[in-house]
Amino acid sequence: MNDLMSAGLHRCWKRRFVASANPRPGWRVVDVAGGTGDIALGLLEWSRKLPGRAPPPVRVAPGDGSVDSFREAAERQTAAAEAEAPASCTVSVVDPSPSMMQVGSAKASAKGSTFASSIQWLEGRAESLPLDEASSDLYTIAFGMRNCTDLPGVLREAHRVLKPYGRFACLEFCSVENPLLSILYDEYSFRVIPPMGLLVAGDWDSYEYLVESIRRFPHQTLFANMMREAGFSAVNYEVLWPGVCCIHSGYKLPSV
């Protein structure tokens, strides 16, 4: 249904979200409302493409002094340093639905043992995460924030579990500011999506709720202010094409 409703755009939005989050090898990430595993797997794939910590300067004698022997020595030392560095980040997925996490766990297992072993699946809610204070380098939530009833509480909880200089990243639908697009978007949302849900998934009510929850979510500037009130700094948002969703970002600075 996600592919059908968004004409596949949700995949582009999620890829952009993962790239903007830019998780590094060795980071501890918490992905909230991520039971299907899409974001967690994307974060792992992204971090595995990145180098670990930078190798130290070459101290191995370059053999006969030729350029080739020096290059070989440098490559050996680089390989040794990369072998010591973490291969990827690790992700704790927190979701209130065990059945959704079973779907995500199956996806991770299908990707291989290295992916499956890098994800921890925890049942819990965004308002009360089963994580220690200052335990995460990155907090992500994609298309789940609008389902939370206590947004200020969720933001405070995100701030609590992040380490100093940790980053908060949220992908969510936003208010459409282009007047013409807003009219077309409303027509599509209210007149097409619920009937499509009934026809394809046999479920009108869930997709009607989807449309209504998007409209109830605060305007992006208001949500940015809520993030600041929760303690985040360097708050900003990026509206994604064609203007119906955006990435919210902020950082937890050390207490002074």
| Binding positions | 36, 95
**Which residue in 52, 58, 63, 51 sits closest to 74, CA to CA?**
58
What torsion do the CA atoms of 221, 161, 19, 91 make, to the nearest 10 degrees?
Answer: -150
Is the separation of the CB atoms in 103 and 36 below 8 Å?
A: yes
**Strand order across the beta sheet in which 245-251 lies:** 119-123, 90-95, 28-32, 136-142, 162-173, 245-251, 233-240
C-alpha span between 90 and 98 (Å, rounded)? 20
Q: Rounded to 5 degrees, what are φ and ψ at 99?
A: -65, -35
Which pair of tokens denotes residue 200?
A: 């394809």
Q: Enumerate residues 6+ apart whose C-beta is below 8 A from 41.
A: 107, 108, 111, 115, 119
Q: Is 168 helix (H, G, I), strand (E, B) or coil?
A: strand
Q: Give the side-chain half-sphere CA count within 13 A for 187.
A: 6
Q: Which residue has the tokens 């007047």?
A: 179
Collapsed DSSP state (helix, strand, coil) of residue 12: helix
Binding-site residue set for S-adenosyl-L-methionine: 36, 95
